[in-house]
Chain A
Amino acid sequence: MNGRTDVENYLVAMATFACLYALLALGLNLVWGLAGMINLGLVGFFAVGAYVSALATKRGGVPIALGIVAALAVAAVAGAVMALITARLRGDYLAIITLGFSEVVRLVASNEIWLTNGTDGISGIPGPWRGRVSPVAFNVIFLVLAALLVTVVLGVLERVRHSPYGRVLRAIRDDDQVAGVAGKHVLRFKVEAFALSAGVLGVAGALWGHYTSFIAPEVFVPLITIYVVLALTAGGTGNNWGAVLGAFLVVFFMEATRFATGWLPGLGPVQIAALRESLIGLSLLVILRVRPAGLLPERLPRVEPPPAGEAAR
């Protein structure tokens, strides 16, 4: 085997994981960065998407593309319901409820064995052309697919951000009463934003399943939520490009620390494993200390104020 190809294969795989994290960060950015609703249950929507697509393709025999669409739809409905339930909650309360949601999803996945195969998980989830092409080619195909989806989602969300619709979401974020007084139907906007965000998270989940071919409740732990919140905070809350950048940085950091710690003398693998996690936390602290708004801070689309003279008169 050609050694060079192998390292490239690793880089391709990590880029794919970074794309999946980017989708998660983009989904979070819409609901948190734009609409100001914290969602600490994003791994729950990630799980819903993964299970829907895995079951649809493996048990239902539908094509993978349709499975991904189904994942988007079901996760979006779950998000809409979630938003309706939590309509009056903000801040800490919303954070706790959403965190609870993700735990409920995980518990349902562990216990409804007839549907989810319980803690054994679902293995052998089909992937596009998996088995028909070499594993290396499959890796590349999947990266292209994931990158394509990131581009599409990024495009759509940028469009949302720059549109009057995005402006309303920002208004709700800053003060939903003012937005309401200005005649905006706040609840409708919140539900729609939450649903769209959850749909994006569901797509990421579906991709994860098709990529690794195995999902189990243990995959969908709060650790992933933490990584994604970290990615968005480091990249720049409110900025879609920041979300993508942050996701790539987090995956880069998680992987780079594997190699960097190899040269620290006198440390056993156990200390190195602990040090890796500290390094990831430390780097976030540094980023937030130096750039409190993230690496790519949110830049509000310019709105021309009326000429000064007019206002005075």
Chain B
Amino acid sequence: MSFDAAISRRTVLGGAAVLAAAGLVAPRAGAQPAAIRLGTLTPLTGAGGSYGPSMRKAMEWVAQEINAAGGVLGHPIRLVSEDDQTNPEAAVRAARKLIDVDKVAAIMGTWASAVTTAVAPLCWESKTFLTTVSGSDTITQLPHQGYLIRTQPNTHLQIGKLAEFLLALKVKRVFTLAAQTPFAVPSHKRLEEILPRGGTEVAGIVVYDKDKTTFRSEIDQALRSKPDMIYLNGYTPDCTVLMKELFKAGYTGGKVAQGYAVNAKLLGSLPREVTDGTYTATPSPAVESAGYKRLARALGTDDLDPYSCQCHDHISLVALAIAHANGEATGTAVRDHVRKISQGNGQKIDSAVEGLKLLGHGKAINYEGASGPCDFTDAGDILDCKIRFDQAQQGKFKFVKMI
């Protein structure tokens, strides 16, 4: 017995020693001095877990394409991926690792607004560039010293176009049912700003807690003001309940919602008579662009989500900015050069590989990505983005128009 115990203890110790040795040696052996290190911080688990994997895949693909074409001025891109767990606490630890251990020039792809706001101070303090798809208006108002850009249209831009759409429909009274989110109240304020100009009345808003299982009192309150259009500004689970209960309450007016909430899955889970006629607004990637089509082919789908398209553009912009800075792979270089390749009068390009080639020949470029034109304000917001409007008909989405 004691002999067995001795052997097993020795084996365990030996194993531990090997593991420890591997831990000390492996990272050094694998490191390439000339590689440009970029970090991805996407939600691979948690509430955003359904989006993160494809966002990361899009960035991986761009890195492969760039590396296959000879890298950024000869330097290959090495992508380091971390999971933000859709939680600010976990994201801060992951970002510290990317910044301190991997020494990345940029962190790309943060999704949840709270995660982005938690990670942003780390980035600007350590001069690391941050690119995000979060939509909350407050993000670009942080004192980020230019170390942040986002490709997701903010509330101001998105709701401005929604209001334009509603005015074109000539609706009379709009009521908002909104989940408690950072954009609930700002969205409503933006509607109040534009709709009255075209003679449409903003009847009111109820902000609800999205985890409730019934919304009878909220719906009663909405219907009391007799709206002919209800804006459902929530997420899929609560919008599912809301639409069912609106139908039961006998509401026959129009409904409009965000495309990420009222999606194909929601249409599949509810009867047609409940969903038919509902409009959806979706910030649209540039579906007609060559960049979009190429990425769709690479990822093996013909319907890319906007976040993957935006992430495709994140890494492309960062790589081009580094090339424009003569290969200086630092967050500060990206900050100082990103607007020199994303906007202006240079030659329009839609792929990083093509852009790198042109930069090599000393030409000026203007990157237009898979997600849109990718032109940024000084605060880091995008200047323009197309919003696509669809309508549910017979349980399927039908394209209405693009604004």
Asked if A17 contacts B81 (CB within 8 A), the reply is no
| Nearest A residue to B80, CB-CB | A262
- Asked if A312 is at the interface (CB within 8 A of a chain B CB), the reply is no
Q: Which of B71-102 contact A (CB under 8 A)?
A: 81-83, 85, 87-90, 92-94, 96-97, 99-101
Asked if A273 contacts B83 (CB within 8 A), the reply is yes
Interchain CA distance A213-B122 in the complex, whole Å: 10
Interchain CA distance A13-B113 in the complex, whole Å: 23
Asked if B180 contacts A119 (CB within 8 A), the reply is yes
Asked if A269 contacts B83 (CB within 8 A), the reply is yes
CB distance from B117 to the nearest CB of A (A): 5
Asked if B181 contacts A119 (CB within 8 A), the reply is yes
CB distance from A217 to the nearest CB of B (A): 8
* Chain A residues near B181 (CB-CB < 8 A): 119
Given contacts A9-B100, A10-B96, A223-B85, 12 further A-B contacts (CB under 8 A): A113-B185, A124-B143, A135-B125, A216-B114, A217-B114, A218-B114, A254-B90, A254-B93, A258-B82, A269-B56, A273-B83, A274-B45
Asked if A118 contacts B182 (CB within 8 A), the reply is yes
* Chain A residues near B90 (CB-CB < 8 A): 223, 254
| Nearest B residue to A227, CB-CB | B89
Q: Which of A98-136 contact B (CB under 8 A)?
A: 107, 110-111, 113, 118-121, 123-124, 135
Q: Which of A198-230 contact B (CB under 8 A)?
A: 208, 212-214, 216-219, 221, 223-224
Interchain CA distance A10-B313 in the complex, whole Å: 29
- Asked if A190 is at the interface (CB within 8 A of a chain B CB), the reply is no
Interchain CA distance A260-B22 in the complex, whole Å: 10
* Chain A residues near B138 (CB-CB < 8 A): 120, 123
- A-contact bits for B22-35, CB 8 A (1 contact / 0 none): 11001100000000
Interchain CA distance A280-B118 in the complex, whole Å: 24
Which one of A3, A212, A273, A274 has the highest number of Cβ atoms from chain B below 10 Å of its Cβ?
A: A273
- Asked if B400 is at the interface (CB within 8 A of a chain A CB), the reply is no
Query: Could you list 26 A-B pairs, sorted by A, with CB under 8 Å?
Result: A1-B103, A7-B100, A7-B101, A10-B101, A13-B93, A13-B96, A13-B100, A14-B96, A17-B93, A110-B180, A120-B113, A121-B117, A214-B121, A216-B88, A216-B114, A218-B88, A219-B118, A254-B93, A258-B94, A263-B22, A268-B53, A269-B44, A269-B53, A270-B44, A270-B53, A274-B45
CB contact between B83 and one of A120, A260, A276 (< 8 Å): that residue: A276
Q: A111-B209, A120-B138, A120-B182 are in contact. Are A219 and B56 (CB under 8 A)?
A: no
* Chain A residues near B118 (CB-CB < 8 A): 212, 214, 216, 219
- A-contact bits for B45-89, CB 8 A (1 contact / 0 none): 100000011001000000000000000000000000111010111
- Asked if B126 is at the interface (CB within 8 A of a chain A CB), the reply is yes
* Chain A residues near B117 (CB-CB < 8 A): 120-121, 123, 214, 216
- Asked if A255 is at the interface (CB within 8 A of a chain B CB), the reply is yes
Q: Which of A244-278 contact B (CB under 8 A)?
A: 254-255, 258-260, 263, 268-270, 272-274, 276-277
Interface residues of A (CB under 8 A from B): 1, 3, 6-7, 9-10, 13-14, 17, 107, 110-111, 113, 118-121, 123-124, 135, 208, 212-214, 216-219, 221, 223-224, 254-255, 258-260, 263, 268-270, 272-274, 276-277
| Nearest B residue to A216, CB-CB | B114
* Chain B residues near A273 (CB-CB < 8 A): 44-45, 83, 85
* Chain A residues near B185 (CB-CB < 8 A): 113
Asked if A263 contacts B45 (CB within 8 A), the reply is no
Q: What is the number of residues of chain B that contact chain A, defined by CB distance less than 8 Å?
A: 44
Interchain CA distance A41-B207 in the complex, whole Å: 26
| Nearest A residue to B89, CB-CB | A219
CB contact between B27 and one of A6, A113, A259 (< 8 Å): that residue: A259
Interchain CA distance A223-B87 in the complex, whole Å: 9
Interchain CA distance A15-B85 in the complex, whole Å: 20
Which one of B44, B45, B87, B181 has the highest number of Cβ atoms from chain A below 10 Å of its Cβ?
A: B44
CB distance from B180 to the nearest CB of A (A): 5
| Nearest A residue to B208, CB-CB | A111
* Chain A residues near B27 (CB-CB < 8 A): 259
Asked if B88 contacts A255 (CB within 8 A), the reply is no
CB contact between B97 and one of A107, A212, A258 (< 8 Å): that residue: A258
* Chain A residues near B52 (CB-CB < 8 A): 270
* Chain A residues near B94 (CB-CB < 8 A): 258
- Asked if B176 is at the interface (CB within 8 A of a chain A CB), the reply is no
CB distance from A280 to the nearest CB of B (A): 12
